[in-house]
Structure 1
Amino acid sequence: MSGKTVLFIAEPQSVTAIFPTLKAAGFQAGLADNLTGALGFIKKSRPCLVFCRPSLPGFDVDALLEQARTIEGFPPVVIFAATGSAEEATRYLELGARDFWLEPLAWEKIRILLPEDSPEPEPEPEPAPTVAAPAMPAASGGPNGKFRIIGRHDAVLRVLALARQVARSKATVLISGESGTGKEMFARYLHYNSDRADKPFVAINCAALPEHLLESELFGHEKGAFTGAINRKLGKFELASGGTILLDEITEMDLGLQAKLLRVLQESEFDRVGGVETVNVDVRVLATTNRDIEGTVAEGKFRQDLFYRLNVIPLKLPALKDRGDDVILLAEYFTAKFGATYGLGKLAFTDEAKAWLMSYDWPGNVRELQNLMERAVLLAGQGPIQPKHFLMGDEQWSPDDLAAVDADQQAAAGAPPPSTPAEALSVMPIHEMEKRLILQSLQETTGNRTRAAELLGISVRTLRNKLNEYKKQGLDV
């Protein structure tokens, strides 16, 4: 299927999560783990885009980029990695890579590089009850059907009412709230309920890139602007022209770049890096932060004039612990979603499980709940979800559960089972288990703190605070 295929040269576990979204958008995904296989796939299937992970064992990325430079019609190559530096990114760009991205791969970034006629993937069906936006017309770059925010609590309904009221304006909106409360979801709600719904929605994480690369990502650059700038590159503001741009984690932006952003907000114009011509744009700007932005202004780390310009419409999202019965509503939604994904059908909660959900304080908010419900669905199988399926402490598992698992392990190893169930239980303090999970997540993500925090269902700030605690304890992290 020429032009409707994307090739990934990477370990399967690092890319397969994006495959269903590509399929829903009408694209096939190919996977290769060596240069010969990759070149053969490119020759046969003629993909429109290639993603390559340089950490793939035994793979020569430089050789691939050499082929990209010498073979006519070779698809653009995007390098992506768990970690990276400006020097690495510059080297890959000099060798001919289209771009250098930090993980995780996000659909909103990928779709910008795909052929313009590619549709937005169909949203998954969502069970009632929900608070829903009006249906949007089917159009390229926008969803088909409804875009929904799930919630009944007054705090959510008030934010939704304000969002609906200002959605059709061009006013900048500052969305604040703890990590995991759904700030990007509300940003999309604003976009898809605006007059710009059929135009691009472009999101960029201001904390994910160093200042030099972030400026180029936002405003683009001219050929020769810096080492590695072998072609003109359009920035996210130009790519979002006519639509909406979301500046995620805006408080992490460098002060110098804040001044350039202020000019765009005030004048609707900017200069590309290394450019001499002014570029005019019509873009609606949304921004998010999980920090006390007014405190950041008081500390001199964020421009006061930029804060006022962004804060025309403030949306403050409530923490999940303050949303009452929405916890159960969301839990039921996520279990229905994951039950369908894994072919397990609809799973019910025991009364004990519901009581536990309502008593927990949810430091990771909706994101933590989502991750926890996926875990619970997988562990519960066909049966009702019980508190033990949340795996929040060893005490959730009965001696019989542990004895059965241990007996299987002993049998596989050819050793006799323990004489009593108590012998199967290896108890450790919850804080020690937490530490082990955090360190394991960093190992599995090769030190990528953003990705590790997502896997754990916590914010990057929480992860950073935990690591600082471990450093004080003498751990090398």
Structure 2
Amino acid sequence: MKERVLIVEDDKMLLEFLVENLSMNGYEVEAFTQPLDAIDFLEGNKVPLVLTDVKMDDMTGDEVLAHIKEHYPETGVIMMTSFGNITHAVRALQKGAFDYITKPFKAKEITFRVNRFFESDKIDFNKEQKIKSLVGTTNKADQQPSPQENDEDLIQQPDEKRFIGEDEQVKKLMEILPQIAKSTAPVMIQGESGTGKEVFANLIHQNSNRSDQPYVKINCANLPKELVESTLFGHVKGAFTGAISDKKGAFEEANGGTILLDEITEIDINIQAKLLRVLQENEFNRVGSQESIQCDVRVLATSNRNIAEAIADNQFREDLYYRLNVFPISIPPLRERRDDIPLLVNFFVDRYTEQYGLEPKEVSDELMEHLVSKKWKGNVRELENKIHRGVILSTNNDTITLDHIERNLFSKVDLEVSKEVLSDLPLISIEDMELQLIKKALEHTQGNQKEAAKILGITDRTIRNKIKKASENEEIDE
């Protein structure tokens, strides 16, 4: 006997899609565009599971959920929404919903959730675990999906990312995302630090046909020069001192899936030639081996540098750039989409209030005006950090104010660091003075080159180059 599923969805195209998909998967489907008609049907018919939209004219999804829980407590409810956020998802689960899914979703995602309901014998299992997943508080042991959960919706994946925004530039990016995701062509994503390049790359993989295959992320800027080739392509035993056994590289680990080369312009130009070979011939050699290894890997790359300058300075291969640049993507800085700041602020407030188990909070008008007008050199990442701070410091308040985020304790830090860095320097050459400044900044940031670069108003690449040059000079002197 077929299990019955009732769907309430005012989008007729989506309703038809859901009916066709669930019918093909063996379910008896009852479909309604009006929630009141669905409520009338429930009065005389037994329905184990209801799928309901959240935002509808006559009756909201929350009201449908409340009615079902009151009158038909054995009936499960899965909420569907385009307007969802973490706060609403958690509350829906707490109020008795079996599950919660955000549009747009794939056919396999909604089918998985419906199957899971019936396989669970209609018991709302692991509700606490689902809530933890939604607010990002699962530990590493919790984050490994079981074999049955490979098709789990992205909102419950620990690495799930969302690109929040209504700006025209963001809309255009999201419009072309599906076409980009479905291809296997390389993608080059450019933008300032903190704009969301990695987020966009994650979305490409998550929406691709390789979403259930490996996704390997390599931060090229953090790789020691001598280990770059081994990290990317692996090595064989005895290839170099310390190579005590054969080891797979990132491309081998990502076979069949996707690899993200974050800040690819930081890779040594000699290694770039080997990357070009992978893109052209789909093969590579482990370090110390003459045997070619075939690989099927989609390459996504990001950079916050001016590519033209890097090519002109012979720091990035022009042929590699054109090979990667099939889909040239540019992520706009936050200052160019200020209308999105309130959306981002509210999203991050919801995220962190739920993460810390706090009651919902509002942002004061003064603070919102300040946030919208700020320059945001660190872009979305900087905004998120400030909201995170504000949520923590406003624990006992309903409203996050300017003082919670821009207290003198924090706003003076950069100034004090600058004073500390500049104080007590002897009269020395400009080159030596630069090194002293860099060393003091690195001491203050516990070796964090990116943070030190922000303090000094230079790039972290400049810091690395100057340290490298100083080391080479010391070797010559010796």
**Structure 2-normalised TM-score?**
0.59
Which of 335, 338, 343 in structure 2 is aligned with 1:321? 335
Displacement of 1:185: 0.7
1:386 aligns with one of 396, 401, 407: 401
* Structure 2 contact 417–444 (Cα < 8 Å) conserved: no
State how far apart, in whole Å, the 2-side matches of 1:165 and 1:458 are.
41
Q: Is 1:263–1:270's contact at 8 Å kept on the other side of the alignment?
A: yes
What CA distance in whole angstroms lies between the structure 2 residues aligned with 1:149 and 1:160? Answer: 8
**Aligned counterparts of 1:219 and 1:458: Cα–Cα separation in 2:** 35
Q: Which residue of 2 aligns with 1:134?
A: 105
Q: CA deviation at 1:463?
A: 9.6
CA distance change for structure 1 residues 336 and 444 in 2, over 3 Å: closer, same or farther?
farther
Whether 2:240 is the aligned partner of 1:240: answer no
Give the greater-gyration-radius structure (CA).
2
Alpha-carbon distance in structure 1 between the residues aligned to 2:175 and 2:251: 28
Report if aligned partners of 1:268, 1:281 keep a CA contact under 8 Å in 2: yes
CA distance in structure 2 between the partners assigned to 1:458 and 1:158 by the alignment: 35
Q: Which amino acid aligns with 2:235?
A: H
Structure-2 change in CA distance of 1:395 and 1:304 (3 Å): closer
How much has 1:212 moved relative to structure 2? 2.2
Q: Which amino acid aligns with 2:262?
A: D
Distance 2:388 2:458 in 1: 21
Structure 2 unpaired stretches of 5+: 1-83, 90-100, 113-144, 155-159, 422-437, 467-478
Question: Which residue does the alignment assign to 2:269?
Answer: 255
Q: Which residue of 2 aligns with 1:461?
A: 459
Of 429, 432, 446, the match for 2:416 = 432
SS in 2 for 1:217: helix
**Letter matched to residue 273 of structure 2:** A
**Larger helix fraction of residues:** 2
Letter in 2 for 1:222: V
The residue type paired with residue 194 of structure 1 is S
For 1:134 and 1:251, the matched residues in 2 are separated by: 34
CA distance, structure 2, for counterparts of residue 304 and residue 262 of structure 1: 11
Spell out, residue by residue over 1:80-119, the C-alpha distance to the aligned partner (whole angstroms, 9 max, x if none). Answer: xxxxxxxxxxxxxxxxxxxxxxxxxxxxxxxxxxxxxxxx
Q: CA RMSD in A?
A: 3.5
Question: What SS does structure 2 have at the residue aligned with 1:325?
Answer: helix
1:71-470 to 2 correspondences below 5 Å: 126=86, 134-135=105-106, 137=109, 144-146=152-154, 147=160, 148-383=162-397, 384-391=399-406, 393=408, 431-432=415-416, 442-443=442-443, 446-450=446-450, 452=451, 461=459
C-alpha offsets along residues 413-440 of structure 1, whole Å, 9 cap, x if unaligned?
A: xxxxxxxxxxxxxxx6963356669999
In 2, Cα distance between equivalents of 1:459 and 1:312: 33
Q: Distance in 1 between matches of 2:228 and 2:460?
A: 24
Q: Is the 1:177–1:319 contact (alpha carbons within 8 Å) kept by the matching residues of 2?
A: yes
Which amino acid counterpart does residue 395 of structure 2 have in structure 1? G
How many correspondences in the alignment? Answer: 312
Q: Report if aligned partners of 2:445, 2:452 keep a CA contact under 8 Å in 1.
A: no
Describe the shift of the 1:244–1:266 C-alpha distance in structure 2 as closer, same or farther (beyond 3 A): same
CA deviation map 1:42-75 (0-9, x unaligned): xxxxxxxxxxxxxxxxxxxxxxxxxxxxxxxxxx
8 Å contact 2:414–2:455 — kept in the other structure?
Answer: no
SS of alignment partner, residue 228 of structure 1: coil
Contact 2:418 2:455 in 1 (8 A): no
For structure 1, which runs of at least 5 residues remain unmatched after alignment? Answer: 1-123, 397-427, 469-477
* Cα displacement (A) at 1:296: 1.1
Against the structure 1 CA distance between its residues 232 and 207, is the aligned structure 2 distance closer, same or farther, given a 3 Å change threshold? same
Moved more, 211-220 or 136-145: 136-145
TM-score (norm 1): 0.59
- Distance across 2 between alignment mates of 1:458 and 1:195: 44
User: Displacement of 1:348 after TM fit?
Assistant: 0.3
Q: Secondary structure at the match of 2:338?
A: coil
Change (3 A) 1:436 1:195: farther
CA contact (8 A) 1:179 1:365 kept: yes
- Between the aligned partners of 2:260 and 2:410, the Cα distance in structure 1 is 43
**Secondary structure at the counterpart of residue 202 of structure 1:** strand
Distance 1:240 1:208, change over 3 A: same
**Hey, what's the Cα distance between the residues in 2 that align with 1:395 and 1:286?**
37
